């Protein structure tokens, strides 16, 4: 979809976070975050390590308890929904921490992402459309893939079920620029097909090149946000990320 | 030959007794000290089947179903709230085992119960006369092991269970209902324990505390196997052999503690036990 046309559409919230707070035990990590992702929009959430980005994603997924505020996906409140129900609602997740079952085959890693084996052939076709190299390597142990290949598997797995909303955690971390570019093209193609994404990143150039809007998270709070295409976006983000 | 058959059949019996505990430990990461109680429940299913005049082999499916249902109830009402408190879960399952034992005592009394032999007599095998039932037990262990391996390797439940064992957080994030996986695995584990209880009836006396003596050995074997199915099979074979050899050539009393002592020694040297191999 051409960018101008996309921007002219009314933006309904694929994901809306309203004053969201969460944390672990006695420690508050996410503090009153309000953020939305429109239909077919990519929002980049930037911040240094330990600022609460991953915790925020896990809160959306119901893996970290919501302590305050509200989360809606496509207008539906998420309170109390399990990750299994969220996946059924069309939420995909590409995690950063231990994102694959290293000792399982690529096929088994992919099987685990579909609710039934009957859905696997169609899902695989969709995956091979993005990453054809995986077709010949389904029997290979996932842990033997290179870092970049593993990222492609993680992203491909998250895209297999045609999610409506995709949560991505530092997909560009630790991989070579050509791989990053390949991932960027896949994500932009999915965005143009209508997929909404919340992309957690530290790689500023990648994030701003990909996203429509950005937000910066610092110590659990949004300290800046705006259009990723604004001329001063990069400078402002880097200012926030500077030590 | 006799010694070899003794070793193989002892290993088979140890495997049958331990496999349910291994399944639960692998997925739920808790030691189910009610395992002995499920064994006893299974044995009493054989008692009930005999009292009703039914075919004694019917006790096997009956025990599996009764064990699975009771296990499911225990998981839902007792174990589930304690997953984040493994020490409390151990205490709770220990307490549950005591309660089950007392309820059995209430219903059947403390006396030793008699059950019909599932397979009486001896058969000529490899040039020796050998207990037909112990050979059948060996076959049953192979069947259980094969079905267990096929379930783990070839079914969605098995794949989901392996995923939960490897990385439960990732499994949850992919939409796997890990709570359901835990419930089903607990039911299967308790069902297998009850099944083992029936299979033990021709080999041991049936009384409300019969499961306790088997629990320790099963516990040590599972610790050595560290949630690995193949490591459990290997541990049963090695320790079963040690038990038979020590009982035969040294002392039956020392043989009876061989599994526990050797398992402790192995864990002292290699904390991951046989699974490292």
SS3 B118: coil
SS3 A226: strand
Does residue A158 carry a pLDDT above 60? Answer: yes
Any chain A CB within 8 A of the CB of B170? yes
CA-to-CA distance for A172 and B129, rounded, in angstroms? 69
Any chain A CB within 8 A of the CB of B173? yes
Cβ–Cβ contacts within 10 Å for residue B77, how many?
Answer: 10
CA-to-CA distance for B83 and B75, rounded, in angstroms? 10
Q: Are strands A165-169 and A91-94 parallel, antiparallel or unpaired?
A: parallel
CA-to-CA distance for A91 and A103, rounded, in angstroms? 26
Mutation site, B157, B162, B174, interface A, largest A CB count within 10 A: B174
pLDDT value at residue A9? 38
What are the chain A neighbours of B181 within 8 Å (beta carbons)? none
Judge whether A14 and A75 are in contact, CB under 8 Å: no
Domain residue ranges of chain B, discontinuous segments joined by +:
2-215
- Percent of chain A with pLDDT strictly greater than 90: 74
Minimum Cα–Cα distance from A97: chain B residue: B170
- Cross-chain residue pair B175–A111, CB shorter than 8 Å: no
- Cross-chain residue pair B167–A98, CB shorter than 8 Å: yes
Q: Which of these ranges, A3-12, A43-52, A191-200, has the smallest mean pLDDT? A: A3-12
Helix H or strand E segment including B220: helix B210-225
Give residue ranges of A with CB < 8 Å to any B CB.
61, 63, 82-84, 86-88, 93, 95, 97-104, 108, 111-113, 115-117, 157
CA-to-CA distance for A99 and A195, rounded, in angstroms? 21
Minimum Cα–Cα distance from B176: chain A residue: A84
> Angle of helix B210-225 relative to helix B178-200, nearest 10 degrees?
130
pLDDT value at residue A7? 39
- Cross-chain residue pair B166–A103, CB shorter than 8 Å: yes
- Cross-chain residue pair A63–B159, CB shorter than 8 Å: no
pLDDT value at residue B30? 85
Which B-chain residues 225-244 have CB contacts (< 8 A) with chain A?
none
Mean pLDDT of chain A: 89
Q: How close, in Å, is residue B151 to chain A by CA atoms?
A: 14
DSSP string, B180-215: HHHHHHHHHHHHHHHHHHHHHTTTS-B-TTHHHHHH
Mean pLDDT of chain B: 91
Q: Which residues, listed in sequence order, are joined to residue A225 by a DSSP beta bridge? A: A215
pLDDT value at residue B243? 93
Minimum Cα–Cα distance from A118: chain B residue: B156
Nearest to B172 among A83, A104, A113 (CB): A83
What are the chain B neighbours of A87 within 8 Å (beta carbons)? 174-175
Q: What is the mean pLDDT of residues B19-36?
A: 90
- Percent of chain B with pLDDT strictly greater than 70: 99
Does residue A5 carry a pLDDT above 50? Answer: no
Minimum Cα–Cα distance from A102: chain B residue: B166
Q: How close, in Å, is residue B76 to chain A by CA atoms?
A: 17
Q: What is the mean pLDDT of residues B184-211?
A: 94
pLDDT value at residue A10? 38
Q: What is the mean pLDDT of residues B143-157?
A: 92
Confidence of residue A76 (pLDDT cuts 50, 70, 90): confident
Nearest to B175 among A83, A104, A117 (CB): A83
Does residue A2 carry a pLDDT above 60? Answer: no
Does residue B108 carry a pLDDT above 60? Answer: yes
CA-to-CA distance for B269 and A226, rounded, in angstroms? 59
pLDDT in tens, A174-218: 888 999 999 999 999 999 999 999 999 999 999 999 999 999 999
| Domains of chain A in sequence order | 1-90+165-176+196-243 (3.40.50.300)
Minimum Cα–Cα distance from B175: chain A residue: A84
pLDDT in tens, A111-145: 999 988 999 999 999 999 999 999 999 999 999 99
pLDDT in tens, B36-61: 999 999 999 999 999 999 999 999 99
Q: How close, in Å, is residue A101 to chain B by CA atoms?
A: 7
- Cross-chain residue pair B170–A108, CB shorter than 8 Å: no
Q: Six-digit token pair at B233?
A: 């099979």
Does residue B83 carry a pLDDT above 60? Answer: yes
pLDDT in tens, A230-241: 999 999 999 988
DSSP string, B35-99: HHHHHHHHHHHHHHHHHTT--GGGHHHHHHHHHHHHHHHHIIIIIGGGTT-HHHHHHHHHHHHHH
Nearest to A104 among B156, B162, B169 (CB): B162
Q: How close, in Å, is residue B228 to chain A by CA atoms?
A: 14
Within chain A, residue ranges assigned H as helices are: 3-8, 53-60, 83-88, 106-111, 120-130, 147-159, 177-192, 204-210, 233-241
Q: How close, in Å, is residue B36 to chain A by CA atoms?
A: 33
Q: How close, in Å, is residue A17 to chain B by CA atoms?
A: 19
CA-to-CA distance for A10 and B58, rounded, in angstroms? 67
Does residue A242 carry a pLDDT above 60? Answer: yes
Confidence of residue B213 (pLDDT cuts 50, 70, 90): confident
pLDDT value at residue B276? 56
Q: What contacts A132, CB < 8 A, 6 or more positions away?
A: none
Q: Which residues, listed in sequence order, are joined to residue A92 by a DSSP beta bridge? A: A166
Judge whether B201 and B118 are in contact, CB under 8 Å: yes
pLDDT value at residue B85? 87
- Cross-chain residue pair A99–B170, CB shorter than 8 Å: yes
pLDDT value at residue A75? 84
Q: Which of these ranges, A17-21, A81-85, B72-76, has the smallest mean pLDDT? A: A81-85
Does residue A12 carry a pLDDT above 70? Answer: no
Does residue A3 carry a pLDDT above 50? Answer: no
**Model pTM score:** 0.84
């Amino acid at each position: 979809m051409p960018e101008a046309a996309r921007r002219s559409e009314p933006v309904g919230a694929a994901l809306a976070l309203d004053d969201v707070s969460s944390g672990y035990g006695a420690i508050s990590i996410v503090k009153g975050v309000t953020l939305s992702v429109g239909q077919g929009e990519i929002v980049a959430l930037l911040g240094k390590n330990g600022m609460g980005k991953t915790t925020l994603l896990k809160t959306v997924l119901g893996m970290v308890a919501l302590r305050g505020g509200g989360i809606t996906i496509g207008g539906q409140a998420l309170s109390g929904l399990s990750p299994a129900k969220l996946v059924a609602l069309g939420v995909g997740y590409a995690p950063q921490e231990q994102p694959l079952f290293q000792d399982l085959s690529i096929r088994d890693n992919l099987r685990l992402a579909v609710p039934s084996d009957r859905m696997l052939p169609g899902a695989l076709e969709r995956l091979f459309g993005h990453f054809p190299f995986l077709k010949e390597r389904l029997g290979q142990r996932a842990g033997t893939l290179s870092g970049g290949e593993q990222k492609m598997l993680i992203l491909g797995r998250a895209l297999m079920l045609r999610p409506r909303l995709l949560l991505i955690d530092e997909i560009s971390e630790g991989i070579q620029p050509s791989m990053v570019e390949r991932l960027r093209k896949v994500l932009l193609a999915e965005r143009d097909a209508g997929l909404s994404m919340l992309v957690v990143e530290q790689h500023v150039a990648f994030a701003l090149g990909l996203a429509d809007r950005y937000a910066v998270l610092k110590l659990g709070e949004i300290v800046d946000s705006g259009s990723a295409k604004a001329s001063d976006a990069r400078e402002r983000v880097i200012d926030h990320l500077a030590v | 030959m006799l010694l070899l058959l003794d070793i193989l059949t002892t290993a088979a019996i140890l495997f049958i007794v331990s496999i349910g505990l291994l399944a639960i430990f692998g997925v739920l990461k808790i030691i189910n000290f009610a395992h002995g109680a499920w064994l006893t429940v299974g044995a009493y299913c054989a008692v009930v089947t005999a009292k009703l005049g039914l075919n004694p082999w019917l006790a096997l499916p009956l025990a599996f179903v009764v064990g699975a249902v009771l296990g499911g109830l225990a998981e839902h009402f007792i174990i589930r709230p304690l997953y984040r408190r493994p020490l409390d879960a151990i205490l709770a399952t220990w307490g549950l085992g005591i309660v089950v034992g007392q309820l059995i005592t209430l219903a059947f009394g403390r006396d030793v119960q008699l059950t019909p032999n599932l397979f009486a007599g001896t058969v000529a095998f490899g040039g020796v006369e050998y207990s037909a039932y112990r050979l059948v037990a060996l076959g049953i262990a192979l069947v259980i092991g094969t079905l267990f391996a096929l379930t783990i390797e070839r079914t969605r439940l098995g794949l989901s269970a392996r995923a939960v064992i490897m990385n439960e957080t990732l499994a949850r994030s992919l939409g796997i209902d890990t709570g359901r996986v835990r419930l089903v695995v607990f039911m299967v584990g308790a069902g297998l324990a009850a099944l083992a209880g029936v299979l033990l009836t021709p080999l041991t006396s049936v009384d409300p505390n019969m499961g306790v003596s088997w629990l320790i050995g099963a516990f040590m074997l599972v610790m050595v196997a560290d949630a690995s199915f193949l490591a459990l099979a290997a541990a049963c074979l090695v320790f079963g052999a040690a038990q038979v050899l020590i009982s035969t050539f040294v002392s039956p009393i020392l043989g009876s503690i061989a599994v526990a002592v050797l398992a402790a020694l192995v864990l002292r040297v290699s904390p991951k036990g046989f699974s490292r191999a």
